[in-house]
Every structure is written in C-alpha cells, then in structure tokens.
Amino acid sequence: MAVPAAAPLPCPLLLAVCWVVAAGTAAGAKILQSPSNLNYSFIHICTLNWTWNPPENISSSCNLEYSSDIITNGVPEDRTVWSKNPFRVMDAQLNEEMRLRVRSECKNDNTSEPSSWVETSLLPEGIPGTAAVDLSCVWHNLEYMACTWRPGKNASSDTNYTLFYWFDGLENPKKCSNSSVNQGIFECIFSLTFPKVTSNYPAISVLIRGDSEEIMPVCASKNPTTLVKPATPRQLSVSKTNDRIDLKWSESETFPKNCLQYEVKCCNDDLDTGRIILSEMNSVSIDGIDANSKYTFKVRAKPKWDCYNSDFHSDWSEEKSIGEKRDSTVYVVLIITIPLVVAVSTIVLLVYLKRLKILILPPIPDPREILKRMFGEQNEDSQSSAKDDPMNGFDRLIIEEEINSLILTETSESTSTEKENR
C-alpha cells in the first residue's frame, strides 16, 4: 500500500518556522557586558589617563579586547584604538570638551556581540575665548626652547599667562620663569638639552595657564625634532689662491657629527647676481673666479633630515668680501664728459671761424646803398645826425670821401677808355 505524500506547508506556517529558527540563532548570540567604572586622571600637566574595569562573567574562550574612541566638541576624531589593556593614555586639550567612549568585544568569536558603549567627559574650565592662541615654539641650537603666543580674544588686556613644560625624564613639571611681553606677544624661554648621543627625543608637553580661574588653560604636545633651528655660523674666513677661493667657518659644538648641512651664498658685485653652493662640511672651495671682480659670501646652516625633521634654517652669517670691484664711476664720468667736451669744442670752433672769416674777408659795401644814401633822404639824416653827434658826423665824412673817391676813380677809368676807343 502506497504511502501518501506529505502535503506542503502553507505560507504563513513556513514564515513562522523561519522566525523560530532565527530567534533560536539570535538567542545563541551572547551580548557582552560593558566595561564599568570609566574614569580619568592626569599623569602630568597635559597627559590624560583613561581607565575602566573589565566586564564580568567573561568566558575563558573569549579573546577580550577594548575599542575606544575620542570625541572632541561633539566630533569623533576617527582614531579608534584596539587594546587588551583597560586604560588609554593620551594628550589632553583642556580648552575643548573631550569625551571618551569604550566597549568590550570578543575578537574572532561569532557567538558573542560587542557590548554597548560607555563614556565619560572632560569639560573645559574658564571662560571660552580666553585661552592662549597661536602657540609656536623653536628649539634653538639644541640648547633652549623659545615659545611665543598671543592672548585670547576674550582675555582682558592685563591678563598674565604662565607656561609649564614637562617631558619624559623630568620628575615633575617645570615652570618657565624667563618670560616677557612685547607688543601683545608673550614669549618664554627655558633650557632644553639632551645628550648628543641620543637619537630619540621625547615629546615636550606645554601648558599655558592664566593668573585667574577665568582664563581657560591650553595644552600642546611638541615634537622637538621638528623645531630645531641651528645657531648662526661664525668665524667665517675667506682666502684666495690663484683662481680659487677657499671658505671656512666654525663647526657647531652642540649638534652631533654630520647632522648639519650648509648653504653658501656667493655674490659677484660686478654682475649683481648670486648663487647658492651646498656643502656637507664647514668649508667649501670655489674655482673659476674672475681675478678682477669682487666677491661677497655668507653662510647659513640647516639640520639634515637624517637627524631632525626640521625646516628651520639658521640666520645668515656676517658677510665677507674678497677682491676689488672695478670703479665704474670713472667710466660713467668719461662717457658723459667726452661727448660734452666735443660738443662745446665744436661750438667754440664754429664761432671762432666765423669771426676769423670776418677779419680776413671783410664785407664789401653795396654801391647801390651808397648812392641811395647820397641822393636820398639819407643825406639830410646824415647831416642832422652829424650836427647832433660829432663822432657820427666824422664817420659820415669819411664814408662820403670814400664814395667820392670811388666815383672819381670810375669816372677817370671811363674817360681813359673813351680816349683809347677814339
């Protein structure tokens, strides 16, 4: 006898079975408990230590780790850290609200779900806008640190700030006492030295507080290797041998060997141009110079990237010159004077030649003008002027005698010519 086939389950019943299976699977996934007693404490002036207690009832098969996030002023920093340790050490801001949240999770375990987040906050103190701004520090010649900043926009004009610093190696934070204010800019200088043989420099924590609780404090962490500025090279000497110039300057005593490179700026005063010459040592030689030119040199130092990650150069050294520059004043004077002398000489010569021509070849009087003066109104004017002026009358008589002699000569020549023709 054949056994009848089982009838298919209706759709609602099939869905119910699926929900039961899913619920059973979900019931098998265990949700971990959250860490407890989340708190914070300051290790040093700007170092914050977040701590918490592990969750209870964790099975031995759970590879327990903690995930922690930092939220600053309500914005996550996207720096999730996974750790087996129930604490997290980090730099504090103090002038911004900081929240830490943490949860527990069994890594590589699909039978458990991460716990829910727990969090706590570090609230800023003081009035907003009173904290120091534009903090900048420079590590001069590996000897001292100089930090500058400006007061906050909401701080009063008589606000005083105090700088504290700490780094790994100091037992307690130190106060910077060498402070000054110049045109609203605060500056504080403190000694900072490490052994020359070290290759790892600790971060410097800087805290700036006001003289009252109303001033909001501010913290900053500085990597000293990025703030290195060498001292200005000194004792620059320049010597010349044939067509070569040798330069040498003092070597730094505070920097490790081969941790500085140098830039030498060479200027040719005749061409008013300059070029930069790089050197790995505290000396350089320059060939192919012009013996009749003057050269000026100056040097500055820069840390090598093999030792420090700093972009600071030292100040330029004092300038040193060698050689003699051609005196261009003489050439300028000659260029201006020679054309001027030629022009003046030409004018004088032309005037002189004109006067000389008048002396050698005096102008011949026009007979027609003479006749007009004899028979025209010029005679009356001559007589009246002769009466008025004895000297002019005398001159007129001489001219008339010359004219008469000229007429007589012409008449006698014409008479003799007629006789010859007859």
Confidence at 316, pLDDT banded by 50, 70, 90: very high
**pLDDT for the residue 8:** 40
Q: What is the DSSP string of 82-118?
A: EESSSEEEEE--SSS-EEEEEEEEEET-TTEEPPPPE
| Domain residue limits, the chain | 31-54+61-122, 133-228, 231-322, 364-401
Query: What's the chain's average pLDDT?
Result: 79
Cα–Cα distance between 103 and 105 in angstroms, integer?
7
Chain Cα centroid distance, residue 187: 21
Residue scoring higher pLDDT (382 or 313)? 313
* b/e code 130-160 from CB counts within 10 Å (16+ = b): bbbeebebbbbbbeebbbbbebbeebeeebe
Domains 133-228 and 231-322 share a fold: yes
In the CATH scheme, what is the homologous superfamily, with its name and number, of domain 133-228? Immunoglobulins (2.60.40.10)
DSSP assignment letter at 257: T
Full-model pTM = 0.66
Describe the crossing of helices 378-388 and 367-375 by its angle, rounded to 10 degrees. 80
Q: How confident is the model at residue 273 (pLDDT cuts 50, 70, 90)?
A: low
What is d(CA 50, CA 40) in angstroms, rounded to the nearest whole number?
4
Question: Is the pLDDT higher at 46 or at 388?
Answer: 46
> Stretch 44-66: mean pLDDT, rounded?
87
Class of domain 231-322: mainly beta
CB < 8 Å & 24+ apart, contacts of 279-285: 282/233, 282/248, 282/249, 282/250, 282/251, 283/246, 283/247, 283/248, 283/249, 284/246, 284/247, 285/244, 285/245, 285/246, 285/247
Least confident stretch, 103-107, 288-292, 393-397: 393-397
Give, in order, the Cα–Cα distances in Å from 238 to each of 83, 112, 248, 302, 323. Answer: 61, 77, 7, 21, 11
Closest CA to 263 of 320, 322, 317, 306: 317
Q: Which of 205, 176, 192 lies closest to 47 in space, CA to CA?
A: 205
Predicted local distance difference test score (pLDDT) of residue 44: 86
359-386 per-position pLDDT tens digit: 666 667 767 776 676 666 544 555 555 4
CB 145 within 8 A of CB 190: yes
pLDDT in tens, 207-237: 999 988 899 999 999 999 999 999 999 999 9
Choose between 362 and 248: higher pLDDT: 248
The tokens describing 1, both together, are 């006898």
37-46, 223-232, 332-341, 374-383: lowest mean pLDDT where? Answer: 374-383
Q: The domain 31-54+61-122 belongs to what CATH superfamily?
A: Immunoglobulins (2.60.40.10)
344 — pLDDT class (breaks 50, 70, 90): confident
Q: Give the count of beta carbons closer than 10 Å to the beta carbon of residue 64.
A: 17
* Residue 357 confidence (pLDDT): 64
Q: Say which range, 39-53, 356-370, 390-404, has the weakest mean pLDDT.
A: 390-404
Q: Indicate whether 139 pLDDT > 90.
A: yes
Q: What is the pLDDT of residue 19?
A: 37
Mean pLDDT value across residues 391-400:
53
Residue 24: the pLDDT is 37
Alpha-carbon distances, residue 96 vs 75, 166, 217 (angstroms): 11, 21, 10
pLDDT at 10: 42
Whether 411 has a pLDDT exceeding 60, the answer reads: no
What does the block give as tokens for 198?
A: 């070290």
CA distances in angstroms from 135 to 93, 150, 163, 202, listed in the order given: 13, 7, 11, 19
